[in-house]
Amino acid sequence: MENSKGMRIAATVVRYLLGLIFLVFGLNGFLNFLPPPELGPVAGAFMGGLAGTGYFFPMLKIFEVLAGVLLLTGMYVPLAIAILGPITLNIFLLHVAVEPAGLPVAIVVFGGNILLAVAHKENFKGVFSKK
Span 86-99, pLDDT tens digits = 999 999 999 999 99
Span 7-66, pLDDT tens digits = 999 999 999 999 999 999 999 999 999 999 889 999 999 999 999 999 999 999 999 999
How confident is the model at residue 128, as a pLDDT?
Answer: 84
| Closest C-alpha to 40, from 108, 95, 117 | 95
| Closest C-alpha to 46, from 88, 87, 94 | 94
